[in-house]
Amino acid sequence: EKAGYDHYMRKEIHEQPAALRQTLSGRVDRDRGDVDLDVSFPQGYLDSLEEVQFVACGTSYYASLYGAQLLEELADVRTSVEIASEYRFNGGRDPWRTLVVAVTQSGETADTLGAIREAAGAGARTLAVTNTLGSTVTRETDETAFIRAGPEIGVAATKTFASQVTTLALLAVRMGRERGQLSAAEARDVLADLRGLPGAVQQVLDEDEQVLETAREYQDASSFFFVGRRFGYPVALEGALKLKEISYDHAEGFAAGELKHGPLALVDDDTPVLAVLTEAAEREATMHNVVEAQTRGAPAIGVVSSAGEGGSVDVALEVPSVGLFEPLVANVYFQLFAYHVANLKGRSIDKPRNLAKSVTVE
């Protein structure tokens, strides 16, 4: 059932164009410049709500960081994003006006269920964003939006991250329209970029050979640092998590601007820096931080927009232009990089040591 692939993870990375088509299927209304998310909020609810709080763990937490920024950008709503195990509900005077969104692939993560129970108990409205029909989270929330990525077997989440962010983008457009923050024309532009995602991801998958060569060249580094800004920041965190999970190498993700506030002390010629350098990741400012690392001898691998410039990076990996979603497409390069580094080292890619696909204890 791996359909000719050596690992489920590789199969699932390559399934992303199809998964994204499923996520978007029937939900994009181009004519009206709106989204149909089959989630029935009461009339006027999205307009009246004061804050959206995300609760999630691991990769789903990083998808939430991306999604929250989309909500702020497109719907002008206040957001917060909490690691589920650290969450305490704080909903102001009218908890119902706080929408608490649990983002969870499995729908069974104990920490996330605990957070959503606390929020519901305090009177907040709750929404599940999940991949799993009939999962516990769907029974414990007021509404559910399915990400429709299809089953994910590899322990490391890949296609579900892409489908989570895409579902949150659809929610952001819907909310932006309802709240009068996004015109039909503006929404159509965002929706056009979303519809371009499957093709853009496919173009990255077609560059697999270049990523394999990059992995061969840098696989023996002592540490890997991933950096990005804005939408590139959660992608940097996710890129580092993927690499550490399956290769067992030390990797960390940083907001690019934070490098100089400490981590730069660790940088030398044995610590490649992988940077999201697309426009939606504030290319120029991030490039400046990358140059600071290069000055200390670090090799730089940059994901750049096909429209933009790479600057002085040692390896430039290109993504097609899809606006706010370029960092999401950049993430596919990081998935392939993690996969190849782990595979070159003969790691147990689909079942990394010490990890489980669904974490049902707190």
CB of 241 to ligand F6R, least distance (A): 6
Complex with ligand F6R: residue 49 or 147, whichever CB lies closer: 147
359 lies in the site for ligand F6R, by CB under 6 A: yes
298 lies in the site for ligand F6R, by CB under 6 A: no
Which of 33, 58, 232, 302 binds ligand F6R (CB under 6 A)? It is: 58
CB of 358 to ligand F6R, least distance (A): 6
Complex with ligand F6R: residue 153 or 266, whichever CB lies closer: 153
18 lies in the site for ligand F6R, by CB under 6 A: no
Residues that bind ligand F6R (rule: CB under 6 A) add up to a total of 15
Query: x/- binding map, residues 149-168, to ligand F6R, per CB under 6 A?
Result: -------xx-----------
CB of 340 to ligand F6R, least distance (A): 17
Which of 16, 23, 53, 59 binds ligand F6R (CB under 6 A)? It is: 59
- Residue holding tokens 């992608």? 235
Pairwise CA distance, residues 158 & 156, whole Å: 6
Pairwise CA distance, residues 180 & 199, whole Å: 30
Q: Is 260 a catalytic residue?
A: no
Complex with ligand F6R: residue 28 or 63, whichever CB lies closer: 63
Pairwise CA distance, residues 11 & 329, whole Å: 17
Contact 180, 40 (CB under 8 A): no
DSSP-assigned letters across all residues of 20-34: HHHHHTTTEETTTTE
CB of 162 to ligand F6R, least distance (A): 13
Pairwise CA distance, residues 273 & 250, whole Å: 12
77-116 binders of ligand F6R (CB under 6 A): 104-106, 109, 112
Pairwise CA distance, residues 127 & 138, whole Å: 8
CB of 59 to ligand F6R, least distance (A): 3
Binding part of the chain for ligand F6R, among 51-59, 267-275, 316-324, 331-339 by CB under 6 A, reads 51-59
Complex with ligand F6R: residue 155 or 267, whichever CB lies closer: 155
CB of 105 to ligand F6R, least distance (A): 3
Catalytic residue among 159, 260, 345, 357: 357
Complex with ligand F6R: residue 279 or 350, whichever CB lies closer: 350
190-249 binders of ligand F6R (CB under 6 A): 241, 245
Complex with ligand F6R: residue 210 or 358, whichever CB lies closer: 358
Query: Which residues neighbour 43 within 8 Å (Cβ) at sequence distance 6 or greater?
Result: none
Q: Residues 357-362: contacts with CB within 8 Å, 24+ apart? A: 357/106, 357/152, 357/153, 357/155, 358/106, 358/108, 358/109, 359/57, 359/109, 359/110, 359/111, 360/108, 360/109, 360/110, 361/110, 362/85, 362/110, 362/111, 362/114
Beta-sheet pairing, 34-35 with 28-29: antiparallel
User: How many other C-beta atoms can be found within 10 angstroms of the C-beta atom of residue 116?
Assistant: 27
Using Cβ positions, the residue closest to ligand F6R within the complex turns out to be: 58
Q: Which amino acid, one-letter code, is at 171?
A: L
CA 182, chain centre distance (Å): 23
Query: Which residues neighbour 280 within 8 Å (Cβ) at sequence distance 6 or greater?
Result: 230, 231, 232, 323, 324, 325, 326, 327
Complex with ligand F6R: residue 178 or 245, whichever CB lies closer: 245
Which residues are at the interface with ligand F6R (CB under 6 A)? Answer: 57-60, 104-106, 109, 112, 156-157, 241, 245, 358-359
What positions carry a catalytic annotation?
357
